[in-house]
Amino acid sequence: MPIVAVANPKGGVGKSTLATNIAGYWASQGHEVLLGDVDEQQSSRLWLGLRPKDARPIQAWEVQRDFIVRPSRGAEHVVLDTPAGLGGLRMREVARLADGIVIPLQPGVLDMHATQTFLKQLTEWVGRRPVQLGLVGMRVDERTLAAGQLQSFTDAADVPVIGVLRSTQNYVQLAARGLTVFDVASSRVRRDLEQWEVLSGWLDALS
Full residue range of the structural domain in which residue 126 is found? 3-206
Which residues are paired to 104 by β-bridges? 136
pLDDT string in tens for the chain (207-residue length) = 799 999 998 888 899 999 999 999 999 999 999 998 887 778 898 999 999 999 999 988 776 655 555 666 666 799 999 887 776 777 778 888 889 999 999 888 888 888 888 888 887 777 777 888 999 999 887 777 777 878 888 887 888 889 999 999 999 999 999 999 999 999 999 999 999 999 999 999 987
Beta bridge partners of 60: 35
Please give the tally of structural domains in the chain.
Answer: 1
Q: How many CB atoms lie within 10 A of CB 50?
A: 12
Do the Cβ atoms of 65 and 40 come closer than 8 Å? yes
Distance CA 53, CA 75 (A): 20
Rg (CA), the chain: 16
pLDDT digits (tens, 9 = 90+) for 126-184: 777 788 899 999 988 777 777 787 888 888 788 888 999 999 999 999 999 999 999 99
Task: Return d(Cα 79, Cα 33) in angstroms, integer.
Answer: 8
Q: What's 103's domain CATH number?
A: 3.40.50.300
d(CA 205, CA 34): 18
